[in-house]
Amino acid sequence: MTLVKVENLRVAFGGVTAVDGVSFEIRRGECLALVGESGSGKSVTARTLVGLTGEGARVSADELTFGGQDLTRVRERGWRRIRGGRIGFVLQDALVSLDPLRKVGKEIAEVLAAHTTLSGTARTARVAELLTQVGVPEPELRAGQLPHELSGGLRQRALIATAIAGEPELVIADEPTTALDVTVQAQVLDLLAELKSKDRSLLVISHDLAVVARLADRVAVLKDGRVVEHGPTARVLSQPEHDYTKQLLRAIPAEHTKGTRLSGTGPSPAPPRRAPGEVVVRADGISKSFGGRPAVREVSFALRAGETVGIVGESGSGKTTTARIALGLTEPDAGTVEVRGQSWTGPGRRALRRDVQLVYQDTLAAFDPRYTVAKVLAEALAVAGGPRRLRRERSVELLELVGLGAQHLARRPLHLSGGQRQRVAIARALAPEPGVIVCDEPVSALDVSVQAQVLDLLEDVQRETGVAYLFISHDLGVVYHVCDRVLVMKDGRVVEEGPVETVFRAPSHPYTQELIAAIPRLTAV
Amino acid sequence: MTITSILRLVGWRLLAGVGVLWGAATLTFLVLHFTPGDPAQAIVGGENAAPTPEVIAQVTAEYGLDQPWYLQYLDHLWRIVRGDLGTSYRLHTPVTQAIGEQAAATVELALAAAVIGLALALAVAVATAKRRRWIRGLAAGSELVVASTPTFWLGIVLLTVFSFGLRLFPATGSHGLASLVLPALALALPIAGVLGHVLREALEEVLDEPFIVSARTRGLADLTVRLRHALRHALMPLVTMTGYWVGALLGGAVITETLFTRQGIGRLLISAVNAKDLPVVLGVVLLSAWIYVLVNLVVDLLYLAIDPRLRPVAGVRPVAKGVS
């Protein structure tokens, strides 16, 4: 029986079309996934189902019904009964999707107050029940806490509890696991799968095909506001018909993609890599505490020219602190870091700065928004030294190295795409001809096809220049794809290290085994 | 957060406040000490008085004006500690008494203006944030006009329309509620303009946050979302501006009280300045310093009340950001 029917949905903001004739239906007790990259119209479509398309949106559809009710005729009062009561909505990052100043119990009770006739005390009891149902231990205690006092996983569970509190027939989850660590992500996906029942349908929005593989009965792939492919999950993932679906699937870095190029129209092996050279960074027994809390404990590693070493671990495991110590930005309490045999505490530390560069996740925050690309690169080249008259020429060289060109010199960061910005960040890092680039979650904010291009680019640059990468990522597929060796961190310690194939295929530490098992896989279908 | 940590915070702030008052007291001493002319002459009635030498000698001895400066300084501080702010040159009554007599009227005016200003700002901001273009434009325009109108001019307009024209409220005096309405409005409107503008900007920023969308997906009414979820966040910049509007109230009181011929500290200050009645002027300075100390303490406590994340947790130091 059909719960939701969408026929030829169109949404435009001003003159810009966001959704361009999308059709799908969701049957009772079924899970449909809308998959696509940013700008594909997937979130706009989902929000239209609860009448929150956004300011200035023009919505039209041949049919837009929910349980037989025509949603195009619903007024504000009607929407308030549907939202929370008949359709629950889970937004992505619970840290920003729960009111940071209100206790989580109050957020859940708010739904009960709006959609049930329960008394105040009955609501409190029901909140505890709901928290238990979504797998939150000590529900009474947690209900009295603020979102920031909960871990990412518990927070997401609490947010899911707000969505199911009104016992809705449909739960919409928009990127429900994007901000989560891989093991937590697996737990939340399991929880969402449990929510699906014969009376409750699920609509999952994701950019990640692997995430929906374990959850969805059917998948609709969106591109530029249109559904390009639609079918049962297993069929779409194993025998994609549309070129775009094929390209998306190929772009997902994983075990089997190692040694191949991710971007491009067809599969192609990557050119051979260089053999690792001399040691450029050596960390020896580094430890660091913040306010008595150890963040990094006795971490040692060596990084050779032309090599990529990955650091994986959950949030709070000490990855970023390790990177900051390697960059000379944080001084370790104990242990030493040497760059080409020189210590960060030695007299030549200013010169070392040029040798160790950083590319990080937030491509917009990485630049002064008032600078043009030319100015960004000129500044980096000025620090690197070298004659002023060659700067423009050298800037163009750098841009070409990262797949951009002289035409981008006059642009400002805001007017570049996320992928282009990350290319400029890489160009800037390359300006002083460094021995090492620390990449802290360099592709986490990018769409999978853009991520594929940036990962390919990083490999090309390495082949060209022999630069070494210290590569931090929570995405184990990415790490497997790009890294030669990997360090697995937990609670500030390196619990396992070795060549990436060995660690991923035969993990010896239980924590690594847990991590590997939690990776969402397309092959699990 | 424990009671002890709140008390500790209050204690530290009050201690810092004592430092501020000491600075203000020192400043007043320097002013008194380095003002040209004979202080004894000023004390007995200013330049135009013709006291006998005996009177001058008596005053000099009584005020310790023949003592070395450091003894005078310590004496000055000690008097302030005891609550003795000196005697008004003009009124020949203790400064504390002079201020005390006028305080009630000013407090009445300032509180009324604060309540009206805040209520107007809140109502307009909540009603107009993220509304249609012309509604926001109208609100922003009106706010700009009242915020940039000088208090005295606004007062004259109010007097002309509501007192002389419509004869709804009395033009002068400080007795009863009716006489409070116009001066409080004149004082409140510019403040409401500035605060309303700040509050609407803050609200519009908050209303774009994901947790607001999240609240809407629960089926809450728009007004509930604004009042229950958005307003608390938007209050933070308003609290930050408390210093501004308390200053605006104090400064505005001087003008308003003069314009509406009301009693109050503002008028006391004006006449003291005109008569070169230094002890009264300095007494008002000290009082203002003390008000600022208290207001800043209240502001710090308000931050903690609004945003629980700022409250110190016993035994745990806040962990540096970016640690992972």
Nearest to B215 by CA among A97, A487, A144, A441: A97
Q: Do B217 and A88 touch (CB under 8 A)?
A: yes
* Per-residue pLDDT at B323: 34
Whole-angstrom Cα distance, residue A445 to residue A439? 13
Nearest CA distance, A62 vs chain B (angstrom): 24
> Which CATH number do you get for residue B277?
1.10.3720.10
Q: Which pLDDT does position B316 carry in this prediction?
A: 44
Whether the per-residue pLDDT at B322 is higher than 60: the answer is no
Q: Is residue B136 part of a domain?
A: yes
Query: Which chain A residues in 188-247 lie under 8 Å from chain B, judged by CB atoms?
Result: none
- Indicate if B137 and B43 belong to the same structural domain: no
Measured distance CA(B303)–CA(B238) in Å, rounded: 10
- The answer for residues whose C-beta is within 8 angstroms of residue B279's C-beta and 6 or more apart is B32, B85, B86, B87, B88, B89, B95
For residue A431, which of A374, A488, A474, A507 has the smallest C-alpha distance?
A: A374
Helix A243-251 and helix A448-465, axial crossing angle in degrees, nearest 10: 50
Distance of CA B227 to the CA centre of its chain: 27
In the prediction, which pLDDT does B48 show? Answer: 63
At residue B91, the pLDDT reads 81
Buried/exposed A53-72: b ≥16 CB within 10 Å, e otherwise? beeebebebeebbbbeeebe
Q: How far is A303 from chain B (nearest CA, A)?
A: 21
Strands lying side by side in the sheet with A226-232: A87-90, A170-174, A201-206, A31-35, A218-223, A226-232
pLDDT digits (tens, 9 = 90+) for B153-174: 888 898 888 888 888 888 777 6
pLDDT band at B320 (very low <50, low <70, confident <90, very high): very low
Per-residue burial over A310-335, b if 16 or more Cβ lie within 10 Å, else e, is bbbbbebbbbbbbbbbbbbebebeeb
Residue with tokens 């009104």: A166
Report the CATH fold assignment for A279-524: Rossmann fold (3.40.50)
Closest residue on chain A to B206 (Cα) = A99
Contacts of A116 in chain B (CB under 8 A): none
With 70 as the cut, is the pLDDT of residue B314 above it? no
Q: Are residues B114 and B260 in the same domain?
A: yes
Residue A93 to residue A201: CA distance in whole angstroms = 22
| Chain B interface includes A421 (CB < 8 A) | no
Looking at the structure, do residues B75 and B103 belong to the same domain, yes or no? no
On whether the CB atoms of residues A170 and A3 are closer than 8 A, the answer is: yes
> Closest partner residue to A97 among B210, B219, B222, by Cβ?
B210
Q: Which residues 88-107 of A are in CB contact (within 8 Å) with B?
A: 88-89, 91-93, 96-102
Q: Are residues B75 and B131 in the same domain?
A: no
At B272 the pLDDT is 87
**C-alpha distances in Å from residue B197, one per residue of A155, A344, A414:** 34, 50, 28
* Chain B: closest CA distance from residue A167 (Å): 11
d(CA B23, CA B15): 13
Average pLDDT, chain B: 84
Report the distance separating Cα A191 and Cα A157, nearest Å. Answer: 8
Whether A80 and B324 lie within 8 Å, measured CB to CB: no
> Is B221 a residue whose pLDDT tops 50?
yes
Contact A204, A32 (CB under 8 A): yes
CB contact, 8 Å: A50 with chain B?
A: yes
pLDDT band at B317 (very low <50, low <70, confident <90, very high): very low
pLDDT, position B229: 93
Pair (B134, B170) in one structural domain = yes
pLDDT tens track for B49-98: 677 788 888 877 777 777 888 888 888 888 888 888 888 878 888 888 98
B4 is a domain residue: no
Q: Which residue of A has its CA nearest to B219?
A: A80
Spatial separation of the C-alpha atoms in residues B192 and B185, rounded to whole Å: 10
pLDDT band of B300, cuts 50, 70, 90: confident
CA distance A368 to chain B (A): 20
* Residue-level pLDDT at A45: 95
Looking at the partner chain, which of A79, A99, A163 has a beta carbon nearest the beta carbon of B211? Answer: A99
Asked whether the beta carbons of B242 and B295 are under 8 A apart, the reply is yes
Q: Which domain range does residue B66 map to?
A: 20-81
Residues of chain B with Cβ-Cβ distance to A79 below 8 Å are 219
- The three-state secondary structure class of A440 is strand
CA distance A236 to chain B (A): 31
The residue with tokens 């008259």 is: A389
B323 in a structural domain: no
Please indicate whether, in this complex, the C-beta atoms of B307 and A146 are within 8 angstroms of each other.
Answer: no
> Is B289 part of any domain?
yes
Inter-chain CB proximity B215 and A111 less than 8 Å = no
Quick check: A453 contacting B, CB < 8 Å?
A: no
**Across the interface, which of B209, B218, B232 has its CB nearest the CB of A84?**
B218
Name the residue ranges covered by the structural domains of chain A. Answer: 279-524
CA distance B233 to B207: 10
Residue B86 maps to a domain: no
3-class SS string, A114-167:
HHCCCCHHHHHHHHHHHHHHCCCCCHHHHHCCCHHHCCHHHHHHHHHHHHHCCC
Same domain (yes/no): B295, B161: yes
| Inter-residue contact A478 to A447 (CB < 8 Å) | no
Model confidence at B270, pLDDT cuts 50, 70, 90, reads confident
User: Under an 8 A CB cutoff, do B308 and A101 touch?
Assistant: yes
**Based on the domain organization, do B66 and B118 belong to the same domain?**
no
How many domains does the structure of chain B reveal? 2
Nearest to A89 among B217, B306, B319 (CB): B217
pLDDT < 70 regions, chain A: 265-267, 522-525
Chain A residues within an 8 Å CB radius of B219: 79-85, 111, 114-115, 166
Residue A469 has phi, psi (to 5 degrees) of -115, 135
Spatial CB neighbours of B189, under 8 Å, sequence gap ≥ 6: B117, B120, B146, B149, B154
Is residue A315 within 8 angstroms of chain B, CB to CB?
Answer: yes
Interface of A with B in 237-296 (CB under 8 A): 290-293, 295
State if pTM tops 0.90: no
What percent of chain B lies above the pLDDT cut of 90? Answer: 27
| Residue from A76, A95, A97 whose CB has the most chain B CBs within 10 Å, to mutate | A97
Predicted local distance difference test score (pLDDT) of residue B1: 55
DSSP string, A303-327: EETT-EEEEE--TTSSHHHHHHHHT
Tokens of B152: 């005295």
Chain B within 8 Å of A85 (Cβ-Cβ)? yes
> So what's the pLDDT on residue A522?
67
Strand-by-strand arrangement of the A279-290 sheet = A293-304, A279-290, A334-339, A342-343
Instruction: Measure A134 CA to nearest chain B CA, in Å.
Output: 18
Confidence of residue B324 (pLDDT cuts 50, 70, 90): very low
| CA closest to A93 among chain B residues | B210
Name the amino acid, one letter, at A194: E
- DSSP secondary structure, B7-63, as one string: HHHHHHHHHHHHHHHHHHHHHHHHHHHHSSS-HHHHHTT-TT----HHHHHHHHHHT
Query: Is B202 inside any structural domain?
Result: yes
Indicate whether B77 and B101 sit together in one domain.
no
A50/B217 Cβ within 8 A: yes
Grade residue B321 by pLDDT with cuts at 50, 70 and 90.
very low
pLDDT tens figures, B14-53: 888 889 889 988 888 887 777 776 767 766 666 666 777 8
Question: Measuring CA to CA, how many Å separate B49 from each of B45, B52, B98, B146, B323?
Answer: 5, 10, 22, 46, 72
- B72 and B164 together in one domain: no
What is residue A524's predicted lDDT score, i.e. its pLDDT?
Answer: 39
For residue A170, give how far its alpha carbon lies from the nearest alpha carbon of chain B (Å).
12
Helix B178-206 to helix B242-259 angle, to the nearest 10 degrees? Answer: 160
Q: A146, B308: Cβ pair inside 8 Å?
A: yes
Confirm whether B303 is domain-assigned: yes
Distances in Å between the Cα of A49 and the Cα atoms of A46, A70, A193 are 5, 11, 21
The SS3 of residue B92 is: coil
Q: Does A144 touch chain B (CB under 8 A)?
A: no
- Within this chain, do residues B55 and B107 fall inside the same structural domain, yes or no? no
Q: Which residues of B touch A166 (CB under 8 A)?
A: 218-219
Interface list for chain B against chain A, based on CB atoms closer than 8 Å: 130, 209-211, 213-222, 228-229, 232-233, 306-309, 316-320, 322-324
The secondary structure element, H or E, covering residue A104 is: helix A104-115
**Which residues on chain B are in Cβ contact (under 8 Å) with A96?**
209-211
**A1 reaches B (C-beta below 8 A):** no
Query: Do B111 and B45 reside in the same domain of the chain?
Result: no
ipTM over 0.95: no
Do B186 and B215 lie in one domain? The reply is yes
